[in-house]
Amino acid sequence: MLSEAERQAYRRDGFLVVRDFAAAEACDRLVARSYELIDGFDPKSVSVFTTDEQTRTTDAYFLGSGDTVRFFFEAEALDREGKLQVPKRRAINKIGHALHDLDPAFAAFSRDPRLKSIAEDVGLGDARLLQSMVILKPPGIGGEVGAHQDATFLYTDPISVHGFWFALEDATLENGCMWALPGGHRLGLKRRFRRAGDGVVFEELDRAPLPLPPEGYVPLEAPKGTLVLLHGLLPHWSAANRSPQSRVAYSLHVIDGAAHYPADNWLRLGPHMPLRGF
């Protein structure tokens, strides 16, 4: 699927932008399906997805979302009493984390044979689909996602996670496109997010912090249909969306089934949800 030049660019930079990967109609179907899911969601309990990694929500609703489909609110969508200040469609930050297995529309999209070929191109001998999520970045209140490495949250030994990020709508500088640090995947893993007792902790692995954006980072503006491939060690971030335009994206994370997946990872799958490939 990837040319030799693209494979070399990915090894060098830790990311690759592939435009026109998905048809506009396919993107529109996933956006429409995302809003259908939101419309059917009854928010009996509120779980806020906090983009600041130091205060990331770690309630039971979040920790139990690895093998189901759950909904997480933007912090600015709620008042101090936890009541919605905006319509529900504009209040949701993300939907996750097992859309690729549980929702037919996302399952079909996630198992495109081209993705299997790309996974093989980047060295995944036994590619397994671990996590998926829709990231909505609603207009006006879409929160910043701080600089992070995906392997912090989806750790294997050896590290094997790669991210497949799809722009379902145009991602621009104005509505909070992703930024990446070229070559930053060679800095090593800085922290690991893991379970400890009834909660979670960030385990420091390297005292040298990630470079603070935007210094050294480059914007990855992505028209609708673009695939952005991300190495699990690559530092990346996105700014808040203060524009009137939403920025819906779909993110799929893939690991190597031959790598060890520690039991203390935050994301767990029940016996009804085996870790499957493409």
Q: Is residue 114 part of a domain?
A: yes
| Residues 67 and 272 sit within 8 Å (Cβ to Cβ) | yes
Per cent of the chain over pLDDT 90 is: 87
Over residues 168-210, the pLDDT tens digits come to: 999 999 999 999 999 999 999 999 999 998 889 999 999 999 9
| Res. 55: pLDDT tops 70 | no
Residue 71: strand pairing partners: 95
Residue 93: strand pairing partners: none
**Of 36-45, 69-78, 117-126, 247-256, the least confident:** 36-45
Q: Is residue 192 part of a domain?
A: yes
CA nearest neighbour of 188 among 255, 230, 233, 154: 233
| Residues 144 and 237 sit within 8 Å (Cβ to Cβ) | yes
Q: What is the pLDDT of residue 211?
A: 95
**Spatial distance between the Cα atoms of 219 and 276, rounded to a whole number of angstroms:** 33
Q: What is the pLDDT of residue 31?
A: 98
Q: Is residue 276 part of a domain?
A: no
Residue 125: strand pairing partners: none
- Which residues lie closer than 8 Å to 215 by C-beta, 6 or more apart? none
Q: Is residue 278 part of a domain?
A: no
Average pLDDT over residues 139-168: 97
CATH code, domain carrying 62: 2.60.120.620
Q: Is residue 93 part of a domain?
A: yes
Q: What is the pLDDT of residue 42?
A: 87
Q: Is residue 272 part of a domain?
A: no
**Which DSSP string corresponds to 95-136?**
EEE-HHHH-HHHHHHHT-HHHHHHHHHTT-TTEEEEEEEEE-
Q: Is residue 243 part of a domain?
A: yes
How many domains in the chain? Answer: 1
Query: What is the Rg, in whole angstroms, of the alpha carbon atoms belonging to the chain?
Result: 17
Q: What is the pLDDT of residue 57?
A: 47
| Residues 251 and 168 sit within 8 Å (Cβ to Cβ) | no
Over residues 13-46, the pLDDT tens digits come to: 999 999 999 999 999 999 999 999 999 998 775 6
- Which residues lie closer than 8 Å to 68 by C-beta, 6 or more apart? 97, 98, 102
Q: What is the pLDDT of residue 197?
A: 86
Residue 76: strand pairing partners: none
**Spatial distance between the Cα atoms of 10 and 222, rounded to a whole number of angstroms:** 17
Tell whether pTM > 0.85: yes
| Residues 102 and 68 sit within 8 Å (Cβ to Cβ) | yes
| Residues 195 and 265 sit within 8 Å (Cβ to Cβ) | yes
Identify the band that residue 81 occupies on the pLDDT scale cut at 50, 70 and 90: confident
Q: DSSP assignment, residue 144? A: P
Domain residues for the domain of 211 are: 4-256
175 burial level (CB within 10 Å; 0-12, 13-18, 19+): buried
Residue 128: strand pairing partners: 255
Q: Is residue 265 part of a domain?
A: no
| Res. 53: pLDDT tops 70 | no
Q: What is the pLDDT of residue 167?
A: 98
The mean predicted confidence, pLDDT, of the chain is 93
Average pLDDT over residues 108-113: 98
Structure tokens at 69: 């489909």
**Spatial distance between the Cα atoms of 258 and 116, rounded to a whole number of angstroms:** 16
